[in-house]
Structure 1
Amino acid sequence: MKKNIPIAVLSGALALLMVSMAFGQATDETPTEKRAQTGMKFLSVSLDARASAMGNTMTSQDQVTSMAMFYNPAALGWLKNNVNISLGQTQWIVDFNYYYGAIALRPADGAYGVFGLNVLSVDYGEFEETIRDANSASGYRELGKFSPSALSIGLGYALAVSDRFSFGGNVKYVHEDLGASAVQLQGTAVRREDNKSSAVAFDFGIFYKTGFKSLNFGMTARNFAEDVTYAEESFELPLTFRIGLSMDLVDLTSLDKNKHSFLLSVDTERPRDFQEHVNFGGEYVFSKVVALRGGYSVGAGNDTEEGVSFGAGLKTKMGSQGALRLDYGYTSFGVFDNVNRFTFSFAF
């Protein structure tokens, strides 16, 4: 009977993957293109260097840090340290910068679950503000400079209810400030209208260890929230569903697992405002110290400039349980600037 369990799990997971992809297809013969249907797009950007280098395939990975709250909060339930702190930066396209941090606490060796705090801040840089002016030779008048920004602060929780199943969630306050619009009045008078919006959003996830070797399965729903309004127009947050599978392929060989590890991850993703696609990622680790990673997304077609991603990482032990980890991730972005990510993690 036990031998049939992995087969049933694999069959069910495969069915869920296929349903997830089919769910987003149009019901008529004309394909539907989902574009520009959401706001607060900063919530869709992958932050962690390791995750991004592996094609954002983190839904079913249990070798996690506190950064799991940004991907699948349920994976936080498998944290092996009592304290884990992560800090990092993502150098996004067009000179946008994402700064983030997360801390996870596992009191009483996880008897009460794992608690977390995560913060994301976005610096969009500085822009010149202008307004139309028919009396000016240039046709516009400069009003000065402004600096848009975005912020997300979240509280996460995960609990491993058995040695094979965990669930988790993350509630976050999100805020975006796009500056103030200048409305032309009579003469040279100008009225200001703030372009700010805030919302409370939720992330949910489940994680299942199948019991067949190191095969894991995960599901997430991220950025679930009510509509947000700018002035008189409302929009939705970038709700995203993910299903993932991962496994250390060394389990299928006679290689020494203390020396070698090759993790293969596959995620299928259904965003609210983007074409459904499948992400593939791989990570080779030698002696549990040096890691080489790569990833790629299939199915996005011409809707994205995002290409191949790769990266590397170093990990060193500190004492009996502590560890330091430094990760770097690189993603090609076609006509845009390439994206670099750096993440530092400390656990004890």
Structure 2
Amino acid sequence: MKRCFHAPTLTFVFALLLVAPAFAQRIVTPDTEVETKKRAQTGMKFLTVSVDARATALGGAVMSDMAGSSTSLFYNPASMAGMPGSFHASAGMLSFITDINYNILSLAYRPGGGNYGVFGLSVVNVDYGDFIGTIRANNEAGFVETGNYSPTALAVGLGYARAFSDRFAAGIHIKYAYQNIGDDFVTAQDFDSQTGSSFNPGLVTATESYAKGTLAFDFGVVYMTGFRSLVIAMTVRNFAQEQTYVRERFELPLTFQIGTSINLLDFTAANPDVHRLRLHVDAQRPRDFDEHIKFGLEYTFMDIFSLRGGFEQTISEEEGISLGAGVHHAISNIRFGADYAYTDWGLFGDVHRVGVQIGF
């Protein structure tokens, strides 16, 4: 009996073979072979925060969305290839812990009916709030205040995805990530008793900027297996060169993730056009902390109303479950949508995400 394997299938299987040993690898020191913990090894951590309301409500387990949207750029750019229609736009806001605010925007456009793939644009802007700057001084307090400063972060990306068949798609997302945590004052002499307890700008000879920017790359594939509605996917996110910050080197938060999803009602007599109950499970291997699993469950009624829940098994003792809901409706050829997500962050309080969408 002759067997025939499709090229996308072989590509995905080969990729899994490469990634699987990485998930199984133990981190040990070369001299003692004692397992170590990966902590604080990366910078620009704002790139790892889940920004989309629907994705967060599912615990971030959205790698295997076959029919995605412009928000897929933040998770798996390959899913963008399966978006319905020719245009999609999304805007969202995240009120994160310690009064950190995220604002996001994403656009996707499919020219020529999809013959040229799907092009996308993503923007993430982070406002960390105001901080009081200080500098060392030879006074009773040991410092003087230099005024308020406001750290910021920004990531702007361009993405492209293409479906090579009705089962397989691949995508890439190239983004410029920038973070600025303020300026440091370089002075000609120490602040002493003659300056009093206030900051004297006249003594400042120069400032040193603590801003850093670099290019980062995301890659993804998604594959519909043909067994019921089972979909599998894989992504590599935040691939970039090593960076130098002042005198220290650091890496971006490189992450490998494998995911799968299936409609659990496939095994029942339920009409999939009326009811869907989709289970999402992702396995993630970050560069800077331990491997973990993400779970998400989404019930959708008539492609209009969705209820969601998710959990991310992480090292955090504060982050708990996520819950959310979404409403999507089409008027003529224009589709509207709104999503909300709630996450319990223990001592840090509740975290809320909202997002709105439009497509045609």
Q: Which residue of 1 aligns with 2:181?
A: 178
Say whether the 8 Å CA contact 2:277–2:298 is kept in structure 1: yes
Instruction: Choose 183-192 or 283-292, whichever is displaced more.
Output: 183-192
TM-score for the superposition, normalised by structure 2: 0.89
Out of 304, 314, 318, the position equivalent to 2:327 is 314
TM-score for the superposition, normalised by structure 1: 0.92
Say whether the 8 Å CA contact 2:94–2:352 is kept in structure 1: yes
- Cα offset, 1:4, TM superposition: 11
Q: Which residue of 2 aligns with 1:23?
A: 25
Q: Which residue of 1 aligns with 2:94?
A: 90
Structure 2 residue 113 is the aligned partner of structure 1 residue 109: yes
Out of 221, 238, 241, the position equivalent to 2:256 is 241
Q: Distance in 2 between matches of 1:16 and 1:87?
A: 36
Kindly name which structure, 1 or 2, has the bigger radius of gyration based on alpha carbons: 2
Q: Distance in 2 between matches of 1:266 and 1:246?
A: 6
The root-mean-square deviation of aligned C-alpha atoms, in Å, is: 2.4
| Aligned-partner SS, 1:81 | coil
Q: Distance in 2 between matches of 1:251 and 1:202?
A: 36
Say whether the 8 Å CA contact 2:138–2:190 is kept in structure 1: no
Say whether the 8 Å CA contact 2:125–2:154 is kept in structure 1: yes
Alignment of 1:254-273 (within 5 A): 254-273=269-288
- Letter paired with 2:355: T
Q: Which residue of 2 aligns with 1:286?
A: 301
Out of 320, 325, 335, the position equivalent to 2:347 is 335
Say whether the 8 Å CA contact 2:239–2:252 is kept in structure 1: yes
CA 1:166–1:97: 2 relative to 1, 3 Å: same
Say whether the 8 Å CA contact 1:164–1:210 is kept in structure 2: yes
Question: Which string of whole-angstrom CA distances, capped at 9 and with x for unpartnered residues, describes residues 278-304 of structure 1?
Answer: 001000011221111001122x34x45
| Aligned-partner SS, 2:347 | coil
| Aligned-partner SS, 2:328 | strand
Q: Which residue of 2 aligns with 1:296?
A: 311
Q: Distance in 1 between matches of 2:267 and 2:17?
A: 24
Question: Which string of whole-angstrom CA distances, capped at 9 and with x for unpartnered residues, describes residues 34-54 of structure 1?
Answer: 111000011010100000000
Q: Distance in 2 between matches of 1:224 and 1:14?
A: 18
Say whether the 8 Å CA contact 1:17–1:268 is kept in structure 2: no
Say whether the 8 Å CA contact 1:65–1:345 is kept in structure 2: no
Q: Which residue of 2 aligns with 1:141?
A: 144
Out of 23, 47, 53, the position equivalent to 2:51 is 47
Aligned positions, number: 341
Q: Distance in 2 between matches of 1:328 and 1:24?
A: 38
Q: Which residue of 1 aligns with 2:208?
A: 193
- Cα offset, 1:306, TM superposition: 1.5
| Aligned-partner SS, 1:42 | helix
Say whether the 8 Å CA contact 2:67–2:80 is kept in structure 1: no
Structure 1: where are the runs of 5+ without partners? none
Say whether the 8 Å CA contact 1:21–1:277 is kept in structure 2: no
Q: Distance in 1 between matches of 2:293 and 2:26?
A: 13
% same residue? 45
CA 1:103–1:92: 2 relative to 1, 3 Å: same
CA 1:104–1:24: 2 relative to 1, 3 Å: farther
- Cα offset, 1:337, TM superposition: 2.7
Say whether the 8 Å CA contact 2:336–2:357 is kept in structure 1: yes
| Aligned-partner SS, 1:251 | helix
Q: Which residue of 2 aligns with 1:212?
A: 227
- Cα offset, 1:63, TM superposition: 3.3
Q: Which residue of 1 aligns with 2:36?
A: 32
- Letter paired with 2:303: K
- Cα offset, 1:101, TM superposition: 0.4
Structure 2 residue 246 is the aligned partner of structure 1 residue 231: yes
Q: Distance in 1 between matches of 2:272 and 2:127?
A: 42
Structure 2: where are the runs of 5+ without partners? 192-202
Q: Distance in 2 between matches of 1:59 and 1:72?
A: 6
Question: Which string of whole-angstrom CA distances, capped at 9 and with x for unpartnered residues, describes residues 225-269 of structure 1?
Answer: 011221122211000000000011111110121221101000000
| Aligned-partner SS, 1:335 | helix
Say whether the 8 Å CA contact 1:86–1:102 is kept in structure 2: yes
Say whether the 8 Å CA contact 2:183–2:207 is kept in structure 1: yes
